Amino acid sequence: MAEAVTELPIVANARALPLPGAAPWLVDLRDRGLDAFEDQGLPGRKTEAWKYTRIDALMKKTAYVPAPLTADPVLSAIPCELALGCEGHRLVLVNGRFSPDLSNLDALPRGVTVQSLATALETDPQAVEPYLGRLQPLESYPFAALNTGLMGDGLVIRVKDGALIEMPLHVVSVAHAPDGVPVAFHPRLLVLIGKGAVATLLESHVGVDGGETLSNGVTEISVGDDAVFHHYKVQNESPTATHLAAAQVVVGAKAVYESFALSFGARLSRHDIRVCLDGEGAEARVNGAYAADTGQHMDTSSFIDHALPHGTSAQTYKGVVDGSGRGVFQGRINVRRAAQGTNGHQLHKALLLSRKAEVDAKPELTIFADDVQCSHGATCGQLDDDHMFFLRARGLNEEEARGLLIEGFLDDVIDMVFAEAVKAAMKDMVHAWLLNRSSRKEGA
Amino acid sequence: MALIEIKDLHASVDGKEILKGVSLTINPGEMHALMGPNGTGKSTLSNVIAGRAGYDVTSGDVLLEGRSILDMEPNERSNAGVFLAFQYPVEIPGVATSTFLKAAINAKRKFAGQKEIDAMEFLKLVKARAKELNVRDDMLKRPVNVGFSGGEKKRAEILQMALLEPKFCILDETDSGLDIDALKVVSDGVNALRSPERSFLVITHYQRLLQYIVPDHVHVFAGGRIVRSGGKDLALELEENGYAEYVDAA
């Protein structure tokens, strides 16, 4: 049911603001975005895709101000300890705006070009016109539509056909509300991986100084035929942050898309990942892990769409939920009539560490082809008594044994990460989360 | 003083009495074998000593160097020097063997008021002990027992024993699932750990293991208690005649 969403502060405040770029197609795209958001309304109780994750109250009551209207955030340094700790060409967004001073564009390898979206829209809009908003459908995800309506900045990343890029590109998105005013921003990433190219993109989403922030990001990714694209994301925002992210990935013939999303932060996070296997023999490995504690709600919703024959998709997600935290996993695999010979698998495993912790899992398979192998599974449990006794019989106290098992539970899925350096950095983050967890417990 | 004294120990599971008055004294440096048919409570005895939950000790006591351990947590017993080598070592995905070994060594050091082992010292120590037990380096990198063969799992248990240097070791059916080569490696490992201070209780169904690990004392366990004790020759006699007479008597 449509509500007057244009009256919401997040929309009304943003509309008063000039956005970069005046090309007619862009103005039209933004209008269509806002219209689509208006048509869908704020997802609420009756919206199936959002029935476990309620966001309407938060959006109605919080007077979010668009980031460019607040004082220009000045950061002398980014909070590196919260970001993925591995080497990469750093591309920094502060409240959704590209920050050249904090970024490192000098040493970009041949075959890669990076441009801020604002610059692209102002100076060379026709170069992005064929892609922007074409990959991400507006009608099925209200916040992607909102992002499209209000997008002002972000990044355009292109990797040329056949380029082999060894060092990852690392997008660090910093959320920052220094003066107590709730800040909303809508970063937009457009990533175009050429045919036969090999590249890695890291995304670290972090917060500084707390404050109420809303990051409503959209990432559109096109992986060309025969290309291999690794995409790793860490969400480590402040405990007062809201993190909404939609990634739409289109994978070409015999191309591989590998992703891993790791979440520790934010009060409320929703990670929507939609992958369309849009070429014969395309492959997607879409994995992730999350750790939610009291006051945190983490939602991962995936949609893998097998459009053409002989595609392969595999998803494994694991979540640890402590205190009164809540985890949500909605995973859908769709196999279109043409997608014969599809192989699609999905697994979600949750570990509940307290009686108040809650996890909702909703796996779905919709299959219209007849020659397919598909499976899905969801488990939800507690720490294994035999494992606990084994560790305690080797001298570990209860807390140490629990810590090691929780770490192992998450490390087990992080082991699926292809890039060794990223794998190690993610395990370090899990370890740090556990150390924080035990100090929180001792403090409590 | 005796290292371990088990005094008229009675224990039950879900109200059913399994241990019906076990008494056993083990002096420092002694190797004891506990033999008996399956399902008579041998594993219950080892679990009760190690402190696994789910067992009610209804009377009796277990003393380590004169001090009761029954009120201790499993980790406190371990740190005090009790080690149980499991019949079925668990697989723990995601926890690297080396990470686990380091955590166990540090738990013991913390208990003893020592500082944590540094990374180099740990590596040196583990590699040396692992080599003696034919444990390959790549096993240390793999998750605890995941994908290990039966023999590798048991060698991993003995490696843990070698690193934690306990006073009292219980080997619960360590020979089960081992071929003869693995049995020899494991036995050599155990024999290398024998010392005038360290004592062992080897629980087994078969005499075979005792050809390699030669006991000072052999006990026949049936019906929830020790029904006969003797020297190492008792094992041979049991091999010949079986347990029938004890089962019938129990």
Give the minimum alpha-carbon distance from B45 to chain A in angstroms, rounded to a whole number: 15
Residue A1's pLDDT band (boundaries 50, 70, 90)? very low
Number of A to B CB contacts under 8 A, please give it. Answer: 81
Chain A interface with B: residues with Cβ < 8 Å: 384-387, 389-398, 400-401, 404-405, 407-413, 415
Give, in degrees to the nearest 5, the angle at Cα A418 between A415 and A419: 105
Q: What is the pLDDT of residue B249?
A: 66
3-class DSSP state for residue A61?
helix
Mutate to test the interface with A, among B43, B75, B168 (most CBs of A within 10 A): B75
Nearest-Cα residue of chain A relative to residue B101: A394
Residue A381's pLDDT band (boundaries 50, 70, 90)? very high
Q: What is the pLDDT of residue B211?
A: 92
Percent of chain A, pLDDT > 70? 97
Residues spanned by the domain of B15: 4-249
Cβ within 8 Å, pair B78-A407? no
Cβ within 8 Å, pair A386-B94? no
Q: Which residues of B20-47 are buried (b: 16+ CB within 10 A; e: fewer)?
A: bebebebebebbbbbbbbeebbbbbbbb
Give the minimum alpha-carbon distance from A311 to chain B in angstroms, rounded to a whole number: 29
ipTM associated with this complex: 0.96
Contacts of B130 (CB under 8 A, 6+ apart): B136, B137, B139, B140, B159
Q: pLDDT at residue A257 above 70?
A: yes
Element (H, E) at B244: helix B244-249
Q: Is the dihedral of CA A428, A433, A434, A436 positive or negative?
A: positive
Residue B107's pLDDT band (boundaries 50, 70, 90)? very high
Residue B227's pLDDT band (boundaries 50, 70, 90)? very high
- B82-95 pLDDT, tens digit per residue, is 999 999 999 999 99
With 0-12 / 13-18 / 19 or more C-beta atoms within 10 angstroms meaning exposed / middle / buried, residue A127 is: middle
Q: What is the pLDDT of residue A7?
A: 76
Q: How many residues does chain A have?
A: 444
Cβ within 8 Å, pair A390-B92? yes
Average pLDDT of chain A?
92
Q: What is the pLDDT of residue A79?
A: 79
Whether the Cβ atoms of residue A407 and residue A434 lie closer than 8 Å to each other: yes
Residue A4's pLDDT band (boundaries 50, 70, 90)? low
Q: What is the pLDDT of residue A443?
A: 64
Q: Which residues of A touch B93 (CB under 8 A)?
A: 408-409, 412
Give the minimum alpha-carbon distance from B13 to chain A in angstroms, rounded to a whole number: 16
Of A392, A405, A415, Cβ closest to residue B74 = A392
Write the DSSP string, A326-337. EEEEEEEEEE-T
Cβ within 8 Å, pair A392-B73? yes
Q: Which residues of A touch B117 (CB under 8 A)?
A: none
Of A389, A396, A408, Cβ closest to residue B94 = A408
Mutate to test the interface with A, among B90, B97, B157 (most CBs of A within 10 A): B90
Q: What is the pLDDT of residue A72?
A: 60
Q: Which residues of A touch B43 (CB under 8 A)?
A: none
Q: Is the Cβ of B84 closer than 8 Å to some Cβ of chain A?
A: yes
Give the minimum alpha-carbon distance from B241 to chain A in angstroms, rounded to a whole number: 36
Average pLDDT of chain B?
93
CATH number at residue B30: 3.40.50.300
Give the minimum alpha-carbon distance from A398 to chain B in angstroms, rounded to a whole number: 8
Q: What is the pLDDT of residue A82?
A: 86
Mutate to test the interface with B, among A349, A379, A391 (most CBs of B within 10 A): A391
Give the minimum alpha-carbon distance from A415 to chain B in angstroms, rounded to a whole number: 8
Percent of chain A, pLDDT > 90? 77
Number of structural domains (chain B) is 1
Q: Is the Cβ of B79 closer than 8 Å to some Cβ of chain A?
A: yes
Cα A324–chain centre separation: 23
Q: What is the pLDDT of residue A371?
A: 95
* Among A389, A249, A414, A236, residue whose Cα is nearest residue A319: A414
Give the minimum alpha-carbon distance from B5 to chain A in angstroms, rounded to a whole number: 20
Whether the Cβ atoms of residue A87 and residue A104 lie closer than 8 Å to each other: no
> To which residue do tokens 């990374």 refer?
B119
Mutate to test the interface with B, among A287, A347, A351, A396 (most CBs of B within 10 A): A396
CA distances from A433 to A82, A437, B40, B109, B235 (A): 11, 6, 46, 24, 53
Please give the Cα distance from A359 to A344 (Å, whole number): 23
> What are the structure tokens assigned to A286, written together?
């879409």
- A361-375 pLDDT, tens digit per residue, is 999 999 999 999 999
> To which residue do tokens 């049991």 refer?
B238
Give the minimum alpha-carbon distance from B132 to chain A in angstroms, rounded to a whole number: 21
- B28-53 pLDDT, tens digit per residue, is 999 999 999 888 899 999 999 999 99
Nearest-Cα residue of chain A relative to residue B80: A395
> To which residue do tokens 């793999």 refer?
B142
- A281-307 pLDDT, tens digit per residue, is 999 999 999 999 999 999 999 999 999
Nearest-Cα residue of chain B relative to residue A390: B90
Phi and psi of A161, rounded to 5°? -50, 135
Q: Is the Cβ of B107 closer than 8 Å to some Cβ of chain A?
A: yes
Q: Which residues of A touch B143 (CB under 8 A)?
A: 408, 412
Mutate to test the interface with B, among A287, A349, A390, A428 (most CBs of B within 10 A): A390
Q: What is the pLDDT of residue A2?
A: 44
- B130-143 pLDDT, tens digit per residue, is 998 888 888 999 99
- A338-349 pLDDT, tens digit per residue, is 999 999 999 999
Cβ within 8 Å, pair A391-B93? no
- B51-79 pLDDT, tens digit per residue, is 999 999 999 999 999 999 999 999 999 99
pLDDT average, residue stretch A118-130 = 95
Give the minimum alpha-carbon distance from A290 to chain B in angstroms, rounded to a whole number: 15
Element (H, E) at A142: helix A142-150
